Amino acid sequence: MKYHILAAILLLTLLICDGLASEKPRKHKKVRRSRKPALNIDTPENLSNTVESEENAPEAEVVPPEVDDVIDNRVPFVDPCATVHCGAGRVCQMDEDDEPMCVCIPDCPVEVEPRRKVCSNHNQTWDSDCAVYQHRCWCDVGDERCKGDKFKHVHIEYYGECRDMPDCTKEEMSDFPRRMRDWLFNIMRDLADRQELPARYKKLEQEAETNHTRRWTNAAVWKWCDLDGHPHDRAVSRHELFPIRAPLMALEHCIAPFLDSCDSDNNHRISLKEWITCLEIEEDVLEDKCEDIEEAFSHNI
Ligand SMILES: [Ca+2]
Ligand SMILES: [Ca+2]
């Protein structure tokens, strides 16, 4: 009987141990299954836990407040040349008294590409526009490298090497204002299509699209206002004409005589009236048109 009881106790002990042993892995499996999805779900609770754990992390204390103080106490370096605008061919440098001053550009980049070459008003090919402006600066300041007084006013006539330009015939010249008007309108339209037309000119462009009698006038007004930039004085100087003159010269040999003819009173400035007349647009006085455009635009902002 005793043996039976002992055998029963032993069997029971074995069963209990076995049962516990087999239950352990199940508990682990349960834990793994229940934790895994929680890692992928950013519940507000999990997020707040993350923030809290990051706030408590030692990394947060790596940057002590003293470091910020050191940065704040440093004298900030402001480049005095940052606000100085030097003309073409000049760069800003500090003089002996640590004052910013414009000097002739010391070195122009060495250009090997023919398309970087420019043709000057003396019909001479230069390596780059930089070289032209640098030389003009030398003559302006009396540098010994200046090759003569005539270079005091040297400027770029057109891009590319100098070439023989065919003469603009009478017939070509008489047709040129029409072609120029057409070109101006198409440029304005292209800029509008590409969302590159400044907002203050959009109304002009839209009116030109819908009202054909305004097409040429509005395109002409837009370009004239656009060219009258520096100085903004209701007149387009020779310098301000550069953005249309130089790039077009290689393509349109009549552009130079055409633009020269626009300055009818020969004061080296093209007024809006002269511009409109030159483009053969019949329109009354438009002298303050640019101001009106800018004023209307600023009121609509
Ligand atoms: Ca001007
Ligand atoms: Ca004039």
Alpha helices in 194-237 (DSSP H): 202-210, 215-227
- Give yes or no: residues 178 and 292 share one domain: yes
- Domain hosting 269: range is 170-300
Mean pLDDT for the chain? 77
pLDDT at 53 over 70: no
Domain membership of residue 213 (yes or no) is: yes
| Ligand 1 centroid from CA 66, angstroms | 54
Ligand in closest contact with the CA of 267: 2
Q: How far apart are CA 223 and CA 228, in angstroms?
A: 9
Exposure pattern of 41-77 as b/e (b: 16+ CB <10 Å)? eeeeeeeeeeeeeeeeeeeeeeeeeeeeeeeeeeeee
- Give yes or no: residues 191 and 295 share one domain: yes
Number of domains within the chain: 2
| Ligand 2 centroid from CA 270, angstroms | 4
| Ligand 1 centroid from CA 289, angstroms | 14
Domain membership of residue 215 (yes or no) is: yes
DSSP-derived secondary structure for 233-276: SSSEEHHHHHHHHHHHHTT-TTHHHHHHHH-TT-SSEE-HHHHH
- Return the percentage of the chain with pLDDT > 70, whole number: 71
**CATH code of the domain in which 199 resides:** 1.10.238.10
pLDDT tens digits, residue range 107-133? 999 888 888 899 999 999 999 999 999
- Give yes or no: residues 127 and 182 share one domain: no
- Give yes or no: residues 152 and 186 share one domain: no
| Residue at which a domain ends, from 128, 159, 190 | 159
Domain membership of residue 17 (yes or no) is: no
- Give yes or no: residues 124 and 197 share one domain: no
**CATH code of the domain in which 96 resides:** 3.30.60.30
Domain membership of residue 198 (yes or no) is: yes
| Ligand 1 centroid from CA 58, angstroms | 63
Domain membership of residue 52 (yes or no) is: no
- Give yes or no: residues 279 and 184 share one domain: yes
| Residue at which a domain ends, from 105, 137, 159 | 159
| Residue at which a domain ends, from 103, 133, 159 | 159
| Ligand 2 centroid from CA 267, angstroms | 5
- Whole-number pLDDT of residue 274: 94
pLDDT at 235 over 90: yes
- Whole-number pLDDT of residue 75: 65
Domain membership of residue 23 (yes or no) is: no
- Give yes or no: residues 283 and 212 share one domain: yes
- Give yes or no: residues 245 and 183 share one domain: yes
